[in-house]
Structure 1
C-alpha cells in the first residue's frame, strides 16, 4: 500500500512540475510576443530605436511593465513618455 501511495504522490508531483513548466513557457511566450509588438508599433510610428532601447524592451521580465508599454506605444509622443513610471493612483 505504501509503495502505491508513493507512486501516486510521485505521479502527482511530476504532473504539477510539468504544468508549472508549461505555464512558465506560455508566460515567456506571451512576454516575447508583447515585447515584439511594442517594438513593431514604435517602428511603424517612426521612432528611432537604438540597440539599447530594443534590448530594454526585449529583456523586460515584468509583464505589468510590458502591458503598460504596449498600451502606451500607439499614443506615446516620445520614448521618455513610453518608459515613464506608471502614475500613482
Structure 2
C-alpha cells in the first residue's frame, strides 16, 4: 500500500532477509528502479556505531550517490540488532 510501511519481525533464521529480498525483487519487477530502493543491513560492522540520532548520515550517503533521488520511493531496512 502506498504510504505504508512493511515490517518483518521474527526470531533468528526464519526467512526475514529472504522475504525482504523477495520484496525488493517484486518492487523491481513492478517497475521500481533499483536506485529507488535503499537497502540497509544494520548488522553490517561498518554501521556498528550508528545511533538513532544520526541516521541522517545514511540518507546523505545515498543522496551523494543519487542526488536526483532526494525523495526516494522505497526504503528497505533490515536489522538484527536494536539501534
- Do both proteins adopt the same fold according to a TM-score greater than 0.5, normalized to the shorter chain? no
Determine which structure has more spread, i.e. the larger CA radius of gyration: 1
Q: Give me the TM-score of the superposition, normalised by structure 2.
A: 0.30
Q: Which is richer in helix?
A: 1
Query: Greater RCO between the two (CA within 8 Å, min separation 6)?
Result: 2
- TM-score, normalised by the number of residues in structure 1: 0.28
**If each structure's strand is expressed as a fraction of its own residues, which one has the higher value?**
2
